[in-house]
Structure 1
Amino acid sequence: MVEIFGRKPLIVYVSGAPGSGKTTLASKIATELYLPHISSDLVHAGVRLTKGSPNDRHASLHDVFVPLLLHMARANVSFVVDQVLQQSFSERDIIAKLREHAQIVNVHTVCHEPIARHAARELSRTDRGVYMSPIEVDSRANYHKNNLGETSRPLELTLPQIIIQTDDGYNPSFPDIIAFIEHQYSREDIS
């Protein structure tokens, strides 16, 4: 990679369990920092729309989502991304691939009952994101509930990391989150 601007681009990687508030927080961070926001759910939805039927999320993760992140980082574009990171897989499959091309700050969201929040949101949707029947939403919620131990805990990364409680607003506060990100990116030694 050629660092054409004297430093690597910033990736604000917002992680957490389904329903923990990743996408909402990532969107706010992207707006505040005036950066592009890449939502894994929307990338998968774009694949689904093009294909015309439900897609294999595992395949689109490796064939589309990760290559998209790598392309942006290699092009020296800073961005915000939200995605559920899995213990034991995401470090190798995603983070390790991005580290050589960008400075990554991990913002991890946590809350009580994230899967119930996720299922309630999916069942109340009226937009084009509706692609599962109530039975499929329930089945997916059970899958996420059984996998919660792999997604709710932050990855043990040697990256700057802040954990955000999202049950009632943001704790630490949103200005503190932005200050943390900006401080970390101003450091020379986080790559």
Structure 2
Amino acid sequence: MIKPYLLVVTGRPGSGKTTFSKKLSSELYLPLISRDEIKEGYVNTFQKRHSELPDDTNKVVTDIFFATVKNLLDSNVSLIAEAAFQHKVWESKLEALKSKAKIFMLICKVEDEIAQKRYISRGLDNPMREYFHGDEGVDLTRKGYKAEVKPYGEPRLDVPTFFIDTTNDYSPSIDELRLKIFKVIQE
């Protein structure tokens, strides 16, 4: 039986996962399901800042995200799912998808300082980011405080895993990843 495949793109905030996943989606002709974009659509519906929504908003959005991914996989659609998957929080949800798809983990990596700088810059450059996501580190920086680099527990699943350095370009490149992924798919 042929299973769809799921490319899980993740990394700490500021690691370049959103930019990378959009380019990957375009080059591999796969739909991209982004947790942040689902959250933005959800917040838009209520026309209130993230901070004004109920405390369970992130859980609701995560449930919608995984229901969407599951529905596509159940319909035999291969896809890319992008989010800051933390091992402790997301392991059971990702593990449950292993019976539905051949999963590949693509973890975007940069030095902590680079990730922090990117995270703060995108928030300061785009005030709507805080409206939709409530990025507290950006708010602290705006008020003159130093934002802390939060720990990130990258996913550890028994699936093919690739680490992508996004410091300047992508290493390995998307072409190199494509060859590695499709080699495993065809085994």
TM-score, length of structure 2 as denominator length: 0.83
How far is the alpha carbon of 1:107 from its aligned partner?
A: 0.5
Gaps of 5+ in 2: none
How far is the alpha carbon of 1:130 from its aligned partner?
A: 5.5
Mean Cα displacement is larger for which, 132-141 or 175-184?
132-141
Cross-structure match for 2:180:
180
Q: CA RMSD in A?
A: 2.3
Cross-structure match for 2:32:
37
- Counterpart CA distance in 1 for 2:90 and 2:102 is 17
CA contact (8 A) 2:95 2:157 kept: no
State the aligned residue count.
Answer: 174
Q: Which 4+ runs in 1 deviate beyond 2 A?
A: 132-143
Cross-structure match for 1:106:
105
SS of equivalent residue, structure 2 residue 103? strand
How far is the alpha carbon of 1:89 from its aligned partner?
A: 2.2
CA contact (8 A) 1:13 1:81 kept: yes
- Structure 1 counterpart of 2:163, which letter? I
- Counterpart CA distance in 2 for 1:68 and 1:183 is 27
CA contact (8 A) 2:6 2:102 kept: yes
CA contact (8 A) 2:129 2:135 kept: no
Cross-structure match for 1:168:
168
Q: How does 1:79-118 map to 2 (within 5 A)?
A: 79-92=79-92, 94-112=93-111, 113=113, 114-118=115-119
How far is the alpha carbon of 1:157 from its aligned partner?
A: 1.2
Q: 1:168 to 1:49 in 2, by over 3 A?
A: same
Cross-structure match for 2:152:
149
- Counterpart CA distance in 2 for 1:24 and 1:85 is 16
Mean Cα displacement is larger for which, 70-79 or 133-142?
133-142
TM-score, length of structure 1 as denominator length: 0.82
- Counterpart CA distance in 2 for 1:156 and 1:71 is 24
CA contact (8 A) 2:11 2:84 kept: yes
CA contact (8 A) 1:119 1:138 kept: no
Gaps of 5+ in 1: 1-5
Cross-structure match for 1:125:
126
- Counterpart CA distance in 1 for 2:9 and 2:90 is 13
- Structure 1 counterpart of 2:72, which letter? M
- Counterpart CA distance in 1 for 2:140 and 2:10 is 22
How far is the alpha carbon of 1:176 from its aligned partner?
A: 0.9
Q: 1:102 to 1:89 in 2, by over 3 A?
A: same
Cross-structure match for 1:21:
16
